[in-house]
Amino acid sequence: MRTMETQNRHPKVIILGAGFGGLFAARALRHSPVEVLLIDRNNYHTFTPLLYQVATSALDPSQIAHPIRAIFSDDQNIHCLMGEVTGIDPGGQTVTVEMDGGRRKEAFDYLILATGSTPNYFSQEQYREHTFDLRTLEDAIALRNHILGLFEKAAWMEDSEARRALTTHVVIGGGPTGLETAGALYELYNHVLDREFAGDRRLHTDVYLIEMLPHLLDPYPVRLQQAAREQIESLGVNVILENPVEEITPEEVVLGDGTRIPSRTVIWAAGVKGIPTPGPFTQQADHNHRIPIRRTTQVPEHDHIYAVGDVAHLTNPEGKPYPMMIPVAMQQARLAAANILRDLRGQELREFEYFDKGIMATIGRSRAVAWLYNRIPLRGYIAWLAWLGFHLISLIGFRNKVVVLVNWIWNYLTYDRSVRIILDHRSKKG
Amino acid sequence: MRTMETQNRHPKVIILGAGFGGLFAARALRHSPVEVLLIDRNNYHTFTPLLYQVATSALDPSQIAHPIRAIFSDDQNIHCLMGEVTGIDPGGQTVTVEMDGGRRKEAFDYLILATGSTPNYFSQEQYREHTFDLRTLEDAIALRNHILGLFEKAAWMEDSEARRALTTHVVIGGGPTGLETAGALYELYNHVLDREFAGDRRLHTDVYLIEMLPHLLDPYPVRLQQAAREQIESLGVNVILENPVEEITPEEVVLGDGTRIPSRTVIWAAGVKGIPTPGPFTQQADHNHRIPIRRTTQVPEHDHIYAVGDVAHLTNPEGKPYPMMIPVAMQQARLAAANILRDLRGQELREFEYFDKGIMATIGRSRAVAWLYNRIPLRGYIAWLAWLGFHLISLIGFRNKVVVLVNWIWNYLTYDRSVRIILDHRSKKG
């Protein structure tokens, strides 16, 4: 029988997290003379940019989730372990993993931290209880169940004001996630559910997009910010700018100027912070739990430990931190993997240089903005097509690409959202 | 504003349950001068014959679940209510519904009971705790999570005996559901997971199919029973006949002859019984909670109340009860709807005559048996194609048909099972 211990002739690289950082680090090592152990709490990689489409019933969870073992089924040197890392010993070079079946200690020669990020409530931790996030597949399914359940409830409610609160959605944060979610929520109701709930009681729905800054899509050029605002308002979403959130309760959102929006569905898309890493790195992390790294993506005091993506903090040559975005994570992950191999060969390590392909955000049917290579501005239909094409080719797995494409064409032609089932997970053995 | 009360010029028909019985009763009334209220605890109809494919990662839950409101979106006279019926007052002609948002009382002129069935443990209710069912979408997802989770655990387990128990599946009941589930479980491992778990630790899997009777597929002719057994054994499943279950514990299954099968995954497919109906019908029901009905599908003492499908008990002209099968439910439902309309027109009610199109069961890739019109026996590849075609055209919704077909072709060509994600539903708001 073949076990990792007996065949461990090659140096062992442990990767924590199978998000975009961890996945691309493992991919970069798949044909190299190292044994890789990829640890994640899930058995799948999540294509997070499309979580909002799961939350709004446009895609199935499995269409944006790919089993990790399937990705590496041809790679004998990539091993997968589903569990939660609870300890890192940088000196002893081990990690401790809690898994179903007990605790394991795994030794490493190299370690890559790629644990990603979690919502940032900016010290208002109580908001966590009253808002929905879109960071995990479970978040997206919970939000889908919640929204569809409220519509079923609203359809039979006599009191018109209470009914309206059930069908009012508030999205907090005017970045790409907020914009995309607000647009998709508005379309879910106004193109799909309005037909189906017409028989009982005419429902009215409102979507609010709340942003503290005076503009949406902060890093974009002004004219694209304006284009985004025009497009989302033309869709029907209420955009409220320069108005910070004062309070969120289970019944309403209160803004800085005193505006109160009764709503049972508040989606938090205002920002993220690193997931705290167990062990000594917590002390070194910044206020957003991000670990400062060297330009080689190594952590400060341990040459054998690397950190990439949202959990790593690195500043660009102009002194600004690299944004917490997937392309940064992917490029840092590839560099970390390459540097491990260079280190093994006794070569000098390379330093991180970010190749910025630009940014894009979709707003709804035929509506989007893009800022390609930070030079080429696109808006409207052409930006939307670019967004669709880019996300389609980025999806992991040929089958997922095909099925998502079929779904998108179907949704576009029929204005349908097929996946609107409320799954009650309080099953006895679930 | 339009409410059901103010416009209630037409007689009101309440249908309890949106399974095959309830759905086909509502469909039969969609263009008639009645107002229909369809009550179900879910917002979707489940295509139960394919639940085992969700449990074995071949199909997505939404591919066999269709939102009820979508089915009737063009029908102004069909209203939907998601909730649990807790009371029926046959004299006062009302039902009480518990829903999110409170309790409602709904009056009816006619009532159709179509609440369906639940696993029958034959007085061994403790088995419920130690076995998995395949009656609901939640059941199927729970089983999928469980099986995939055990494989992840087994891959890292040192003790070979304990490891083997984690990958041994026991299916109890040699009817179509048991046969289909056993075959699909075997294929899930031996065509899919074996490749992906080869990297860590070679896993061995066993599937046992246990039947008390001396043959599988009780109502089939002997040569088809034998063909089914040959096919499932040639696949690799261990068939154990004439050996009743003595005991099921969380660790093992004990059979009548003393055989002990260590397993963490026992699937109960040994039979179903009616879901008890609230109100006076519980007393009238037989030991399987089925309500005896007249040949018109009316319940004995109430001319305005009908019962159809698994919850109804009716004997055929030879004195044997009609089987608890979907075609019986669909045909009884159509008759109940027709009889309500005949009653409204003052016409005499019709009596139930079952048109038996036959029975079929699939066993695995290219393996099946069918007994068409109780005359034409099919086996092997041709029976399998017939099974695929029949189930495909029976699926609700054009999109579901297309997506399931694409998935089946994909699975057939690649030996892949794409939907093998473990969804942890202990999400904070899930």
Please tell us whether the domain made up of A127-270 is placed in CATH 3.50.50.60: yes
Segments making up each domain of chain A, as ranges: 12-119+272-344, 127-270
Candidate list B180, B187, B211, B252, residue with the active-site label: B180
Contact, A369 vs A219, CB < 8 A? no
| A interface test, pick of B1, B10, B62 with most A CB neighbours within 10 Å | B62
B-chain residues within 8 Å CB-CB of A132?
Answer: 429
| Binary contact (B99, A195; C-beta < 8 A) | no
Give yes or no: B318 in active site: no
* pLDDT tops 70 at residue B44: yes
pLDDT value at residue A9: 80
Q: Is B59 exposed, middle or buried (0-12, 13-18, 19+ CB in 10 A)?
A: buried
Select the more confidently predicted residue: A103 or B410.
Answer: A103
CB-nearest partner of A429 from B75, B146, B414: B146
Please tell us whether the domain made up of B127-270+358-414 is placed in CATH 3.50.50.100: yes
| Mean pLDDT across B385-406 | 83
Q: Which residues pair with A106 in a beta bridge?
A: A95
| Binary contact (A67, B101; C-beta < 8 A) | no
Q: Which long-range contacts (CB under 8 A, 24 or more apart) does A351-360 make?
A: A351/A295, A351/A296, A352/A295, A352/A296, A352/A297, A352/A314, A354/A316, A354/A322, A354/A327, A354/A328, A355/A331, A356/A327, A357/A327, A359/A176, A359/A219, A359/A220, A359/A325, A360/A176, A360/A386, A360/A387, A360/A390
CB-nearest partner of B423 from A67, A138, A429: A138
* pLDDT tops 50 at residue B426: no
Residue of chain A whose Cα is closest to the Cα of B402: A406
Give every residue of chain A whose pLDDT is below 70, as ranges.
1-8, 198-202, 418, 424-430
Q: How far is B61 from chain A (nearest CA, A)?
A: 8
Percentage of residues of chain B with pLDDT beyond 90: 66
| Mean pLDDT across B130-157 | 93
Q: Which residues pair with A298 in a beta bridge?
A: A306
Q: How far is B129 from chain A (nearest CA, A)?
A: 8
Collect all residues with Cβ–Cβ distance below 8 Å to B59 and sequence separation of at least 6: B50, B53, B404, B407, B419
Is residue B131 very low, low, confident or very high in pLDDT (cuts 50, 70, 90)?
very high
pLDDT value at residue B427: 39
Residue of chain B whose Cα is closest to the Cα of A141: B430
CA atoms of B82 and B74, how far apart (whole Å): 19
| Mean pLDDT across B401-416 | 79
pLDDT value at residue A285: 85
Helix (H/G/I), strand (E/B), else coil: B171: strand
Residue of chain B whose Cα is closest to the Cα of A155: B81
Helix (H/G/I), strand (E/B), else coil: A19: coil
B-chain residues within 8 Å CB-CB of A39?
Answer: none
How many CB contacts within 8 angstroms connect chain A with chain B? 192
| B interface test, pick of A7, A38, A69, A193 with most B CB neighbours within 10 Å | A69
| A interface test, pick of B1, B156, B411 with most A CB neighbours within 10 Å | B156
* pLDDT tops 90 at residue B417: no
| Binary contact (B425, A420; C-beta < 8 A) | no
pLDDT value at residue B263: 96
Percentage of residues of chain B with pLDDT beyond 70: 95
Is residue B333 very low, low, confident or very high in pLDDT (cuts 50, 70, 90)?
very high
Q: Which residues pair with A105 in a beta bridge?
A: A96
pLDDT value at residue B200: 53
pLDDT value at residue B430: 31
Is residue B203 very low, low, confident or very high in pLDDT (cuts 50, 70, 90)?
confident
Place of tokens 């006794």: A346
B12-119+272-344 against B127-270+358-414: fold identical = yes
Please tell us whether the domain made up of A12-119+272-344 is placed in CATH 3.40.50.2300: no
Annotate B44-66 with DSSP letters as a single string.
Answer: EEE-GGGHHHHHTTSS-GGGGEE
Angle between helices B380-394 and B398-414 in degrees, nearest 10: 150
A-chain residues within 8 Å CB-CB of B202?
Answer: 1-2
Is beta strand B168-172 parallel, antiparallel or unpaired with respect to B265-268?
Answer: parallel
Model ipTM value: 0.89
| Binary contact (A420, B70; C-beta < 8 A) | yes
Among A270, A268, A248, residue whose Cα is nearest residue A260: A248
| Mean pLDDT across B270-297 | 88
Burial A387-417 (b: 16+ CB within 10 A, else e): bbeebeeebbbebbbebbeebbebbeeeebb
Contact, A50 vs A388, CB < 8 A? no
| Binary contact (A397, B418; C-beta < 8 A) | yes
CA atoms of B92 and B104, how far apart (whole Å): 15
| pTM recorded for the entire structure | 0.92
